[in-house]
Structure 1
Amino acid sequence: MTPLHGQLAVNAHRIPDDTAVVLKDHTFSYTEFDEEVNRYAHALASLGVRKGDRVAVLSTNSDRFLLALYGAFRIGAIASPFNPRSAPLELHYLLTDSGASVLAFGGDTAEVVRALSTHDDLAPVDARVVSLDGADGFDDLAHLAATMPAHDPGVAVAEDDDAIIMYTSGTTGAPKGALFDHHRMLRVGQSMTALGLTAGQRQLHAAPLYHCAELALMTMTGLTNGNENHIMDVFDPVAVVDSLERHRITLLLAVPTMYQMIMRVPGITERDLSAWHTGFFGAAPMPPTAVAELSRKFPNVQFTQLCGPTEGGSTGIYSAPHEVRERPDTTGRRAVPYAQVRLADGNGDEPEVGTPGEILLRVPSMMKRYWNKPEATEAALRDGWLHTGDLAVRDEHGYFTIVDRLKDMIITGGMNVYSVEDENALAGHPEVQDVAVIGRPHETYGETIVAVVTPVEGREVTLEGLREYAADRIGEHIAAPRAGDPADSPQSLRQDPQARVA
């Protein structure tokens, strides 16, 4: 294989006039996009970026986000996309930890970037800060790129050279940067191609590009395969449906919350979405009720469920479309192509059927290491396996169901409570849009359980209604309190002054 940007150059020769990227009314052919990547590569080099340097990209979805990313690849730099919603202290940490020599930011993040130099508690960062779209007071990378030549800069970049750092906060501690080379990212694409993300697709990218699932699974694979990639700058469910219909989109990845909002678009079943035949969902648990509703509303779409950590390149386990329909209550049935998966208890042994164990993965797209964190790397990568920290059970038919994070399992009164089970049950309430179940420290029971609920817009959710709904669906630890139970017992789902049940 050639590196990521090399695959793009191959497509510029193979399918030069085919559409590569569409953002609103701006369209790039593969030749045009490849030449623009070259200009961005020359522009970054003119700022002093060299092979192995880090280039941070802080932006919502845009064509310039991708141009800066691939421009960095083309000169052998290591790209690192940051969450555009990062607060000033978070951004400062990411820049310092990555050692980025350049920060390229979109105009909608200008305020947090300016705070880097005005915040009293922050030391100056070494990164050269440039704008992607002409923010006042900053040099403009796009303007600089427009003055550069369109030919390849001629930097030798091998498949095993480092390509990207994807930051993941996990459940505790400071964010950790998962480092991948070009080979590992290309192996992500091989797995996704085997799962249906084949050449000739018209893809809609509505999820954030900085996120590993959207970037590695969908966007990089789409550009490698020579697909037509429609980029949405912000997620809007009505705009998604309009694009699916207008552009005859064939493939979409969305997280569960996005799909649930799409299904609520007025008149959704009357829209002509006949071109759309492939859907992926993942990145968070999807309530079984929502999975069933997806199948009812979009019977022509084959939905594949994905579940994988950033450290695995967002690959891990999956359920094929017929398995999604048959068992919407589970998380996946097998490892993605070219990978292995198993469960392990605290001793490293396979637990009995139905008993929780940690998911371990052996995937070709597995990170090389955590950036600057050797101890965390040693804990996560052991004996060739990635220890994900996800707790799951496997049933007699081979289906996995994630029940919690290893560090998030709630232990209340000596009883193990897995938050995902309770979240899935409460999510079926017709007036609940989203829910998270968390533990709160308690002097007597160790932890009590709190459900944080977001109601459907315009609807009201009451504590009594949730208790009544929960009583028939989940165990007493979150249902109505029994006679004689204290008000703050672990069996009580209650209005708590330090939590929000709304």
Structure 2
Amino acid sequence: MDLGGLVARNARMVGAKEAVVYNDRRYTWAQVNQRVNAVANELIKQGVKKGDKVALWELNTDNFVFAFYGAVKAGAVAVPVNYRLAPREAEWILDNSDSTFILFNDFFEPAVVEMKPRLPKIKGIYSMGEERYDSCPALEDLMANGDVSEPGVAVDEYDDSMILYTSGTTGKPKGAVLTHHNQMVLTCSMASMVGINPDDIIMNAAPLFHAAQLNLFLNPGTYMGATHIINRDFEPTRILQLIEKEKVTQFFGAPIMFMMMMGVPDFEKYDLSTMRFYGYGAAPMTAEAVKQMIKKFQCENFFCMCGQTEAGPGGVALKPSEQVRKAGAGGKYIVNMECRLADENDNDVTEPGVVGELCIKGETCMREYYKNPEATAATIIDGWVHSGDLAVMDDEGYITLVDRAKDMIITGGENVYSKEVEDAIAEHPSIADNVIIGVPNEQWGETVMAIVVLAPGASLTIEELREFLETRLADYKRPRLLEIVDMLPRNVSGKVLKFQLRDTYKDATA
């Protein structure tokens, strides 16, 4: 089975069942399949072949669903692009992925038109919104009037289905290549773990370009023929309203999303009784926050999902029955996966409390990093994906993350890698040296902080630095704290002692 085939099967078997709801637009599975087919047939008509890359630079909308399944149904490899990226960052992904077509939200039309001459591999661009442009056709018109017959492309379960870009310590994102088979196995894992079934109504509020929402909820929900509620802009009151109105049964969010929902003044007035399971992940959540969440939502059916994009995503999970007793832990192994902790020599770490690197193995794990054999070889060793996350295991086998070997910062559920930000800051003419750290933040988990050494006679404010980085980095990657120092602390090898800086500035506030 393949991802596009799931939509076609749902159209045949439960065609009249409600499939996708976005604002005031509601679609059955038969209608979704028609729109998906129109996208697939248009791409094929324009020359897309099996294995070609199709980029989706789109917000959380109904059109993301149609474009994603249309691309994979045509035999193409979908490349979801983070809609929070700055144009230069997105352009790098579009080029590195060898994308031949870009399907984008109206918001990005000026940026796409401006960068297109620098992307010679791009054969066509399509807008995915209400506006009409001279620069490109509108996907909405093609879906309304295009060929809705089945494309007839033979897609194998082991064909590549998507490339999900995840940041790395080199400063450039790496593309994790996943197959249709990875997703089919993952749907079975999710169905067994959180019980996704055909009667579920799933809230898709976290970004669909993320592995978590796309592969843990959208695809498994489609596999089961469930109903998807698509929410574009996360506004906590609206989410609560939608849960009540649409009788949502499954919801996933980053910890910050739950904190914002709990902060709604009249939270208690919303009827959330239809909810069967809440999932949280993408960032650590403290034990105290977990307990507050359970009390506020008056529900213990929470799952902690602690995983990695390169694993599908996959990793470990903490079940509802363990939420209070093991609050703050990542959890244990997930069905269809194995996990272990490894030392610097790749030997197993089994002693409780001893730090090791979390390693994951299973049929949901990526095939490779796209066009990056060196990074692939360094990450996948003897079939194990080395996550770069440092963790400890207790005497019952529960794993808790304690640090990140790759200097990753997690702010509001978004991953920020220090090297990428440091490289961008280094372009500023007033800065002679710099380092990026994450400092604790009660609301966002961590805040990005820049510690810089200025060039002789130079001056700099945080506002000036953020303005300089506006076209270079997404907003969440830009520092919100700035400290100017005479020199950075380094060891004898010249490496900056970040642990000292984290300790020094742990109480800094933006």
Name the structure 2 match of 1:136: 133
Q: 2:426 aligned with 1:435, yes or no?
A: no
Distance 1:81 1:312 in 2: 17
User: How far apart, in 2, do the equivalents of 1:123 and 1:41 lie?
Assistant: 22
Question: 1:8-31, CA deviations, whole angstroms, 9 ceiling, x for partnerless residues?
Answer: 211112211111100011111111
Q: What's the secondary structure of 1:191's corresponding residue?
A: helix
Contact 2:318 2:330 in 1 (8 A): yes
Tell me whether 1:389 sits opposite 2:397 in the alignment.
Answer: no
Q: Deviations over 1:268-291 (max 9, x none)?
A: 123211111210000111122221
Alignment of 1:90-489 (within 5 A): 90-117=89-116, 126-133=122-129, 134-137=131-134, 138-199=136-197, 200-332=199-331, 334-351=332-349, 352-408=351-407, 423=440, 427=442, 434-436=445-447
SS at match of 1:164: strand
- Which secondary structure does the structure 2 equivalent of 1:340 belong to? strand
Give, as a single letter, the amino acid of the residue that structure 1 aligns with 2:267.
I
Partner of 1:456: none
**Cα shift at 1:405:** 1.2
Change (3 A) 1:404 1:147: same
Aligned to 1:451: none
Per the TM alignment, residue 439 of structure 1 is displaced from its structure 2 partner at its CA by: 9.3
Matched-pair contact (CA < 8 Å) for 1:389–1:405: yes
Alpha-carbon distance change, 395 to 176 in structure 1, aligned in 2, over 3 angstroms: same
One-letter amino acid of the counterpart of residue 367, structure 1: M
Tell which deviates more after alignment, 16-25 or 193-202. 193-202
Asked whether the equivalents of residues 359 and 386 of structure 2 are also in contact (C-alpha less than 8 Å), the reply is: yes
For the residues of structure 1 that align with 2:92 and 2:149, how far apart are their CA atoms? 35
Cα distance, 1:114 vs structure 2:
3.2
Q: Which residue does 1:39 correspond to in 2? A: 38
Q: Is the 8 A contact 2:99 2:121 kept in 1?
A: no
* Counterpart residue identity of residue 247, structure 1: E
The residue that corresponds to 1:481 in the other structure is: none
Consecutive unaligned residues in structure 2, runs of 5 or more = 410-436, 454-498
Decide whether the 8 Å contact of 2:54 with 2:99 is kept in 1: yes
* Alpha carbons 2:79, 2:163 under 8 Å: kept: yes
Query: Partner of 1:139: helix, strand, or coil?
Result: coil
1:183–1:495 Cα change, 3 Å? closer
The letter for the 1-side match of 2:337 is A
Asked if 1 retains the 8 angstrom alpha-carbon contact of 2:392 and 2:399, the reply is yes
Alpha-carbon separation, structure 1, partners of 2:309 and 2:21 = 26
In the TM superposition, residue 266 of structure 1 has moved relative to its aligned partner by: 1.3
Rounded to whole Å, the distance in 1 between the matches of 2:348 and 2:68 is 41
Q: Distance in 1 between matches of 2:276 and 2:80?
A: 30
- Aligned residues between the structures: 435
Using the size of structure 2 for normalisation, the TM-score is 0.80
Q: Per the alignment, do residues 31 and 358 of structure 1 end up closer, same or farther by CA in structure 2, a change over 3 Å counting?
A: same
CA RMSD of aligned residues (A): 2.5
Instruction: Give the residue type in structure 1 aligned to 2:289.
Output: A
Deviations 1:89-130 (CA, angstroms, capped at 9, x unpaired): 212211111111100101122233233158xxx565534221
Query: Counterpart amino acid of 1:320?
Result: K
> Residue 316 of structure 1 aligns to a residue in which SS?
strand
Q: Residue 54 of structure 1 contacts residue 78 of structure 1 at CA under 8 Å; is this kept in 2? A: yes
Amino acid at match of 2:277: T
Matches of 1:216 and 1:184, distance apart in 2: 9
Determine the C-alpha separation between the residues in 1 that align with 2:444 and 2:53: 39
Equivalent pair of 1:316/1:363 in contact (CA under 8 Å): no
1:368/1:495 CA distance change after superposition, 3 Å: closer
* Residues 60 and 108 in structure 1, CA contact (< 8 A), matched pair in contact too: no
Match of 1:485 in 2: none
Q: Quote the Cα distance in structure 1 between the aligned partners of 2:120 and 2:289.
A: 47
Kindly indicate whether residue 509 of structure 2 is the aligned counterpart of residue 501 of structure 1: yes
Q: Evaluate the alpha carbon distance shift between residue 409 and residue 368 of structure 1 in structure 2; reply closer, same or farther with a 3 A threshold.
A: closer
Structure 1 position 49, deviation (Å): 1.1
Shift of 1:353: 1.6
Please list every run of 5 or more consecutive structure 1 residues that lacks an aligned counterpart in the other structure. Answer: 411-418, 443-487
Q: Report 1:17-96 matches (<5 A).
A: 17-96=16-95
2:475 maps to what in 1?
none
Matches of 2:208 and 2:506, distance apart in 1: 37
CA distance in structure 2 between the partners assigned to 1:358 and 1:222 by the alignment: 32
Alpha-carbon distance in structure 1 between the residues aligned to 2:47 and 2:31: 25
CA distance in 1, matches of 2:250, 2:127: 32
Which structure is higher in RCO with an 8 Å CA cutoff and minimum separation 6?
A: 2
Percent identity reads: 35
